[in-house]
Amino acid sequence: MFKSPGRKRNTVIWAFAGPKGGVGKTFLTAGLSALLSSKGRHTLACDADVLTPNLHSAFGEESPQKSPCKTSVRKLSFVSFCFGREPLHKLLQREKPEYDFITLDFAPGLLEKNMEDFIRADQPVLITTPEPASIELVYRFLRELTAVKLRRIIGEEKFMEVSSILYDMEISPVSAIKSIREKIAAEDPDAGARIEQETFDKDIKLLVNQVKDHNDQALGPSICEVISKFYGFHTEYLGYISSDERVANSTRNNRLFVNEYPDTETTACFSLILDKLLRNSDSSAGVSKFRLMGFR
C-alpha cells in the first residue's frame, strides 16, 4: 500500500449505515478511519449524511467541509457531502485516486438513492445495537434493500405490479422473492433467472455496537442466522463493540475515543473489526469464506 506515482490505486470503499439514529455510525466510522490511517493507509472519511451531517465534530472540526481537509490524525482526511447536488458516486470517483480507502458515514435509515450507494460499496456494513427497536429496523432495512435491488432488475413498471408481495409482512423476503420470481418467469424466463441470481448477490457485513454482556455478544451471529434463512442476503458478522461509559465523554469533547483510550476493551474490539475488514479487502476477491449453510 505504498504510494507510487503513476500507479493506479485500487481504492476500497467501506460504507457504514444503521437502521436508526444513535446506533453509533459516526462513532464507528470515525474510529475505524482513524485506526485505518494509523496503519499507514491514506484514508478519506466522508460524511454522506446530507441532512444531519455530524462526522466533522468527531474529528474536532467546527463545521462540515466542502473539500477534503486534513484531520489531526496522520494520513486521514475528511470531507462532507452536504454541499450542492453532485451525486455521491461522482464525488467518490473524483477523490478516489488520492486515497487507499474511503469510508462513508450514511444517514440513519437511508433514502433509496443512498441504498444504491451503500450496496455498491466494496464492504457495506450495517450497524445495530442490542435493543429490539434497532434489530427490528435491521430487518426492515434489508427488506427495503431487497426492493431496491428488485426494482433495478425488473424495472419500475413491473416492480409496481409485484411490490405488494414483497411488502406483505406475513411472509419473509426470501419467500416473497420466490413467488415474485415464479410470477415473472412465467412471462419472461430471462427476468426470472436474473431475479434468482442477482437479488441477493451482495454480501452484507453486520456489526453490533454497545454490547454489554454475553447475551448481547451472542446477538450478532443469531441475527446472521435469521437473515440467512429469511432475508436471503449473505451476511458476515464482523464482531461487536463493547459498551464503555467513557465513549459519551469523548463524543462530548469532540475527541476520538480510539486515540484517547487506546488500552480499553472497546478499542480492542475496534482493531479486531478493522483486521477483519482489511482481510476481506486485501484478499481483493471480496468474497468471504463465511458460510452458515448451503454446503451442497
Partner 1 sequence: MRSFDELDFYEILNLTFDCNDKDVENAYLCLMTIYSASSMASYGAISATERRSILNRIQAGYETLKTVEDRNAYQTTTLGLTDEAKKDEFAKGLELRKELSPLPLNPPVTGAKQTRREKKKGVEERSGDVSNQGVITGAHLRNIREAKGATLEEISEKTKVKKAYLDAIEREDKNSFPAPVFMKGFIKSYAKALGLNPEEISEKYRAK
**Would you count residue 263 as binding partner 1 (CB under 8 A)?**
yes
The rounded Cα 138 to chain-centroid distance in angstroms is: 12
**Would you count residue 224 as binding partner 1 (CB under 8 A)?**
yes
- Interacting residues of 29 by C-beta distance below 8 A, sequence separation 6+: 16, 45, 55, 58, 103, 104, 105
Size of interface with partner 1, in residues (CB under 8 A):
56
For residues 274 and 278, give the distance between their C-alpha atoms in angstroms, rounded to a whole number. 6
Question: Which of the ranges 9-17, 80-88, 175-183, 246-254 carries the binding residues for partner 1, by CB under 8 A?
Answer: 175-183
For residues 16 and 207, give the distance between their C-alpha atoms in angstroms, rounded to a whole number. 10
For the record, the C-alpha cell of 123 comes out as 464492504
Query: Comparing C-alpha atoms, which of 207, 49, 46, 202 is closest to residue 126?
Result: 207
Cα distances (Å, whole numbers) of residue 16 to 42, 44, 45, 159: 18, 14, 11, 27
- Report, in Å, the least distance between residue 128 CB and partner 1: 11
Q: Which of 269, 274, 277, 278 binds partner 1 (CB under 8 A)?
A: 269
Neighbouring C-beta atoms of residue 238, cutoff 10 Å = 23
Task: Tell me how many degrees the CA angle 89-112-173 measures, rounded to the nearest 5.
Answer: 125
For the record, the C-alpha cell of 92 comes out as 467518490
C-beta of 93 vs 215, nearer to partner 1:
215
C-beta of 21 vs 60, nearer to partner 1:
21
- Report, in Å, the least distance between residue 206 CB and partner 1: 11
Alpha helices in 96-131 (DSSP H): 112-120
Q: Which of 58, 110, 162, 219 binds partner 1 (CB under 8 A)?
A: 219
Question: Which of the ranges 61-69, 85-93, 98-106, 286-294 carries the binding residues for partner 1, by CB under 8 A?
Answer: 286-294
Q: Are 241 and 16 within 8 A, CB to CB? A: no
Site string for partner 1, 124-163 (x = CB under 8 A): ------xxx--xxx-xx-----------------------
- Report, in Å, the least distance between residue 46 CB and partner 1: 28
| Bridge-based pairing state of the strands 69-70 and 76-80 | antiparallel
**Would you count residue 277 as binding partner 1 (CB under 8 A)?**
no
**Would you count residue 245 as binding partner 1 (CB under 8 A)?**
no
**Would you count residue 177 as binding partner 1 (CB under 8 A)?**
yes
For residues 41 and 44, give the distance between their C-alpha atoms in angstroms, rounded to a whole number. 10
**Would you count residue 66 as binding partner 1 (CB under 8 A)?**
no
**Would you count residue 221 as binding partner 1 (CB under 8 A)?**
yes
**Would you count residue 36 as binding partner 1 (CB under 8 A)?**
no
185-204 residues in contact with partner 1 (CB under 8 A) are 196, 199-200
Q: How many CA atoms lie within 13 A of 124 on its CB side?
A: 23
**Would you count residue 225 as binding partner 1 (CB under 8 A)?**
yes
Alpha helices in 82-213 (DSSP H): 88-95, 112-120, 132-166, 173-187, 189-198
Q: Which of 90, 187, 285, 295 binds partner 1 (CB under 8 A)?
A: 295
- Report, in Å, the least distance between residue 237 CB and partner 1: 7
Task: List residues binding partner 1 (CB under 8 A).
Answer: 130-132, 135-137, 139-140, 169-172, 174-175, 177-178, 196, 199-200, 213-215, 217-226, 229-232, 237, 239-240, 242, 262-265, 268-269, 271-272, 289-296
